[in-house]
Amino acid sequence: MRTGPSLNSVRNLVLAPVIFLASLALYISTLAPGLLWGGGDFATFQTMAYLLEIELPGGIFGHPLWVILAHPFTWLPIRDVAWRANLASAVFAAGALTLVFLTARHLTRSVPASLLATAALAVSHTFWTYAVMPKAYSLNTLLLISCIYLLLLWGKKRDGKYLCGFAFLYGLSLLNHLVMATAAAGFLAYIGIVAWQRREEPGLRKELLLMLPAWMAGVTPYLLLLTRAQATDSTLDIITGFVKGLGYVAAHPQVLLLSIGVGLVLLLSSTSSPLPLSLVFWAYGIPSARATPRPGCWG
C-alpha cells in the first residue's frame, strides 16, 4: 500500500522548477533587448502582443494563441513593452524545457540522461534563438512536448483524463501554428498501439469516445476563426501545398535523398555542429536501449 509520493515523483518536483528557473535565467540574460526590426516580423509580433491584435490563421502573422498568451506579459512593470513581449517567448521556452526533462525522465528513468537531453536542447542554436525573440516557435514546442507527455502518462497510468487533456491541448495548439497538424499521424499511431494493447479493458472505449469532444473543445476557437473566408482560403492553400509536397516527394524519391544528403553536408560542415558529440552518446545509448526496451520510447 502506497503511503506517499514515490522517490521519482519527489525528484521531479524538486528538479522541474530548478530547470525552469535556470533556463529562464539563461534566456533572460540573453534576451533580445527591446524593439527588433530584423526578420521582417519581430516588431509586428511585439506590436500585436501589446495591442492584442488577432490575425486569422494561415498567414505569416496568423498565430493568435501566441498573441493571446503573450499579451499579459506586456502589463509587467519592467523594461519596455517590446522587451516584455520577448520575455513571453523565454518563459514558453523554459516551460518547454521543463516538460522535455519530465518526458525524458519518464522514458529513460535516468536523471543524468534527462538532464543531458534537456541541456542539449536548451543551448541548441535554433531553440535558443527563438527562446529570446518574439516568435511562436517556443510556445509551439511547449504545446508539442505537453501533448507528448500527456499521451505517455495516459499510456502508463491508463487514466482517461490524460487522453482528454492531450486531445484538448492538441486541438488548441492549431491556434498557435498549423505545423502541429503534421504531428497527427504520430499521435494517432501511439494511441492505436496503446489501444490495441488495452483492447480487452472495459473502460477503454469510454476514454476514446471522450477524446473526441475534448479535441472539439480545443479546436473550436480555431474553427471559429476559419469561418471568415480569407482564413479558410489561406488555410486550404497551406494544406493543399503540404499534401502536394508529400505527393511530389513520393513520386520523386531522388529529391528526398538529395535533400537528406545536402542536409548532412551542411550539418557536418557547420563549425557549431554537435554531431560528433551526439554520435558518442548515440553509440552508448542504442545498445543500452536495446538491452532494456521501453515501448513508450518507440511509440
* 60, pLDDT greater than 80: no
Helix, strand and coil in the chain, % to nearest 5: 75, 0, 25
- Pick from 34-48, 71-85, 249-263 the range whose average pLDDT is largest: 71-85
What DSSP character marks residue 76? S
User: Residue range 205-229: average pLDDT?
Assistant: 83
Question: How far, in Å, CA of 102 to CA of 115, rounded?
Answer: 10
Which one has a higher pLDDT value, 118 or 12? Answer: 118
What Å distances lie between residue 97 and 104, 137, 141, 142, 162, CA to CA?
A: 10, 13, 9, 8, 20
What pTM did the predictor assign? 0.78
Torsion of CA 61, 65, 67, 73, to 10 degrees: -150
Residue of 25, 36, 22 lying closest to 134 (CA atoms):
36
User: Residue range 131-149: average pLDDT?
Assistant: 92
Confidence label for 3 from pLDDT (cuts 50, 70 and 90) = very low
What is the average pLDDT score of the chain? 80
Q: Extract the C-alpha cell encoding 26.
A: 539563461
User: Residue range 137-156: average pLDDT?
Assistant: 93
Burial of 199 (0-12, 13-18, 19+ CB in 10 A): exposed
What Å distances lie between residue 262 and 13, 203, 257, 273, CA to CA?
A: 43, 49, 9, 15
Task: Find the range with the poorest average confidence among 71-85, 114-128, 209-223, 253-267.
Answer: 253-267
Q: Extract the C-alpha cell encoding 182.
A: 503534421
What ranges do the domains of the chain cover? 7-222
Phi (first) and psi of residue 122, to 5 degrees = -60, -40
Confidence label for 268 from pLDDT (cuts 50, 70 and 90) = low
* 39, pLDDT greater than 70: no
